[in-house]
Structure 1
Amino acid sequence: MEKTSFLGVLLIVVALMSSCVSAPIHYYTLMSSKPQSQLHPAVMPFVIDVLPVYVPEALDRPQFVVRNGLNGVLLLDNQQWSSNLGEELTESLSDQLSAYWQVPSSRGLADAASKRLLRVNIEVRRLDIWTDEKIVLVADWTVGFKDTSSIRLICRSQLHKPLGRGYQAIAIGMQETLAELAKVIAGTVDENGLLQCPSAFAS
């Protein structure tokens, strides 16, 4: 009888300990492992400065923030970016724009002062993620050269990306969405200077 009671208590203790073990945290990055090809054939006579990407405060965190139903959101503590979302977006877009233009970023570049500086400012206005369904990204962005700051392009992009199943698909979908956004931005500047927005949002 005592042995049976002991085994019963032991099973209860093991069950309680198992329930206290938290699920592992899975980390993801927005830095793409696929190198982007040069968008323009000519050598670009500038370096770029991608300013910190603005993200609404509710989204600027490491945890995935996904839509739940018509008007709800979920904060997924076990699915996280490797840093706050704003930092991830800035690093990813800077890297991809550098690849598309085949130019370096001005950060840490010794001779950056001797080159024309192109500034890129991106502000995320909407980022909705429906797990297993789609991503919707709306971003306002401007590009302009520092030496002619009064002349710049003011543009808006609205991107929709279907998703596969699972959280890994969210990370892949976000990488592909950012690659598409970077390609749109890179298409507005060539070796001769500013071109035009891909829509009517130019000034």
Structure 2
Amino acid sequence: MKALPRDLSTPIFIDILPVNVPERLARPQLVVRYGGSGPEAQLFILEQDRWSSPFNYELRDAFASGIASWTGAVNKAHRGRTPDQIVYRIAIELSQFDAIIDDSVKARFGWTITRPADARSAACYAVIADPVAPGVEGVVEGVQRAVTSVVTSISKNVIELDMGRVPTCAVRKEAL
């Protein structure tokens, strides 16, 4: 993971809010489709294939650790901060998601980044459609790649805000 240049002598904090996901995904079991992405596809909840916690919690943890690592920020959840230290509040929503076995992972993530001290903010989104390797493992790897892509975009936005720049919303458009 490559970080952008940032003055690390002044620590910044990130506050990752709970990730909003469609209700069907807020569970530890993997939720996948079999049979392609058309009307013939069937939705399955895999009882034997699970995340280590509900999917929305897994996403929050992945975003928090990834963004902290990428930016050099401190995750507010793990340490206290003094009132004069900068904090970026990040809200993330997964509004569309399909994990299709032997086909692809398709997702639409939206996020807002707010710096409450001076009202600097950014709102962006990413649309991702990536092919996956066969089986459940392929879908899990596809989800991880999608999250990594969004972590990179959010991290760039945090650094741009911190440097006083206008954030660029690099949107990767694919068919959903």
2:66 and 2:148 in contact (8 A); partners too? yes
For 1:57, the equivalent position in structure 2 comes to 23
Kindly tell me: are residues 112 and 84 of structure 1, through their superposed partners in 2, closer, same or farther at Cα, counting changes over 3 Å?
farther
How many residue pairs get aligned? The number is: 164
- 3-state SS of the aligned residue for 2:23? coil
Distance 2:6 2:118 in 1: 24
Runs of 4+ in 1 over 6 A off after TM superposition: none
1:42 to 2, 7, 11: 7
Matches within 5 A, 1:138-149: 138-149=108-119
Contact 1:142 1:152 in 2 (8 A): yes
Retained in 1: the 8 A contact 2:11–2:74? no
Give the structure 2 partner of residue 192 of structure 1: 163
Q: How many Å apart are 1:84 and its aligned residue?
A: 0.3
Answering whether residue 100 of structure 2 is matched by residue 134 of structure 1, we say no
Q: Pick the structure with greater CA Rg.
A: 1
AA in 1 matched with 2:131: P
1:41-120 matched pairs, under 5 angstroms: 41-43=6-8, 45-69=11-35, 70-71=38-39, 72-120=42-90
Is the contact between residue 47 and residue 112 of structure 1 (CA under 8 Å) also seen in structure 2?
A: no
1:113 is displaced (CA, Å) by: 3.4
Q: Describe how 1:10-25 pairs up with structure 2 within 5 A.
A: none
Contact 1:106 1:112 in 2 (8 A): no
- Please give the TM-score of this superposition, normalised by the length of structure 2: 0.84
One-letter amino acid matched to 1:197: T
Within 1, Cα distance between the matches of 2:141 and 2:163? Answer: 34
Deviations 1:54-97 (A, max 9, x none): 01111111111112342431111111111100000000011000
SS in 1 for 2:2: coil
- Give me the TM-score of the superposition, normalised by structure 1: 0.74
- Structure 2 unmatched runs, 5+: 172-176
3-state SS in 1 of match to 2:83: helix
- Asked if 2 retains the 8 angstrom alpha-carbon contact of 1:122 and 1:139, the reply is yes
